[in-house]
Amino acid sequence: MVDEAPDNKEQQQQQKEMQTIITPDTTQESDKTVIPTPIIQNKEEDNYLTRTSNYNSNFNTLLTGDKKIVAFVGTTKNGTSFIVNNTAEMLSSMGINTAVLDMTKSKNAYYIYTNDKEELRNIAKECMENLQKGIPKGIEISKTLTIYTEMPGDSREYQLDNVLSTLLENYSAVLIDTDFDTPFEIFDRVQEIYLVQTMDVLTIQPLTAFLRNLKSKEILKQEKLKIVINKSEKVRSLSIKTLIGGMSCYNSPSMTYMTELFNKDNIKYCEIPFEEQNYVKYLDALVNCSITLNGYTKQFLTALRGLANTVYPLVSKPSVKENKVAKSIFSNEVNNTLNKMKNRY
């Protein structure tokens, strides 16, 4: 067997970097040097970067002050779909024309919102195809809330720019439920990425590994990132500040190198409290295929309303906590949105 020689000197150098073992630093945490993770960019990544730099310019023209498109992502069991579904319900109750796009592999929205009805299943099957054609035909929950999903296991590929453009043309707020298998283009297009994290530190590493991949494709941007601490509780040995610090860096499983993902002191976050009553209520809603805000505690609804105001600001009052030097609400450019909404709807 003859080993294949590298194509060029650059690949040889990259291979050397990957083979280098970096000795863990034993100094204090504050003195540690962040060592960039060696990344080899393959042809597929190069094609992705070229492709995303040439996407339909019409998409950007649709991002006016009264439009918002955001993505939520988190490790499995952190409650990403829970946050998306309830935030959508809150926005809808506020009179904001809202769409939910399910881009997860599991397609939970298909099971929740088709309500075991053949008519709704048929709509779901063609949701994405219709969006691609410019037809906004989804599962209509109310006058201000529509769900777009597809049958689990459907492997058809779509022109995502067309899909997202159709949604922006017809809705004011677009919430995208995502996971680590969601196409990278989604995270590149959205205005904000909400990282859904719980107090369970074991779920941090998979999320940071995913964020590292986004960074390698030049998609991860500090100004896009927001954090949602779901099921927030007081833990004696774990503060919110420490939790966010853990999310801000990717550490290899061998602990031989680390990569900074975002500035932990400038990231904005909000907390959704954990209350058993709310969890049981949501489980009951899943069984009945009916997501509503009725039955949640006052504390939960207050926190959820704060998150909704962050996703789609209607007032200038901050609805998220500032992490050290973070000083302002996510966006000040949409404070006049309510007037535009009244004129349009």
Residue 250 burial (C-beta neighbours within 10 Å; 0-12, 13-18, 19+)? buried
- Distance (Å, whole) CA 307 – CA 321: 11
Tokens matching residue 48: 């992705």
Sign of CA dihedral 206, 212, 214, 220: positive
Domain assignment present for residue 56? The answer is no
17, pLDDT greater than 80: no
Q: Which residues contact 107 (CB under 8 A, 6 or more apart)?
A: 149, 150, 151, 152
User: pLDDT at position 49, please?
Assistant: 45
Asked if 203 and 197 touch (Cβ cutoff 8 Å), the reply is yes
Mean pLDDT throughout 190-217?
96
33, pLDDT greater than 50: no
Domain assignment present for residue 50? The answer is no
CATH code of the domain containing 210: 3.40.50.300
What pTM value is reported for the model?
A: 0.77
pLDDT tier for residue 256 given thresholds of 50, 70 and 90:
confident
pLDDT tier for residue 254 given thresholds of 50, 70 and 90:
confident
Domain assignment present for residue 292? The answer is yes
Domain assignment present for residue 16? The answer is no
Mean pLDDT throughout 271-278?
94
Higher pLDDT, 94 or 335: 94
Tell me the pLDDT tens digit for each residue of 123-143. Answer: 999 999 999 999 999 999 999
User: What share of the chain has pLDDT > 90, as a percent?
Assistant: 66
- Residue 4 DSSP class: P
Domain assignment present for residue 4? The answer is no
Q: Which residues contact 137 (CB under 8 A, 6 or more apart)?
A: 123, 126, 127, 130
Number of domains in the chain: 1
Residue 52 phi, psi dihedral angles, 5° rounding: -70, -20
Q: 260 is in which domain, residue-wise?
A: 62-344
Query: Packing angle between helix 204-216 and helix 240-247, nearest 10 degrees?
Result: 40
Asked if 281 and 264 touch (Cβ cutoff 8 Å), the reply is no
- Distance (Å, whole) CA 110 – CA 139: 10
Lowest mean pLDDT among 63-67, 86-90, 208-212, 222-226: 63-67
Domain assignment present for residue 10? The answer is no
Longest dimension (CA), the chain: 72
Domain assignment present for residue 127? The answer is yes
Identity (one letter) of the amino acid at 68?
K
Asked if 80 and 196 touch (Cβ cutoff 8 Å), the reply is yes
Higher pLDDT, 337 or 309: 309
Asked if 144 and 151 touch (Cβ cutoff 8 Å), the reply is no
Domain assignment present for residue 42? The answer is no
Geometric angle at alpha carbon 108, from 313 and 185, rounded to 5°: 60
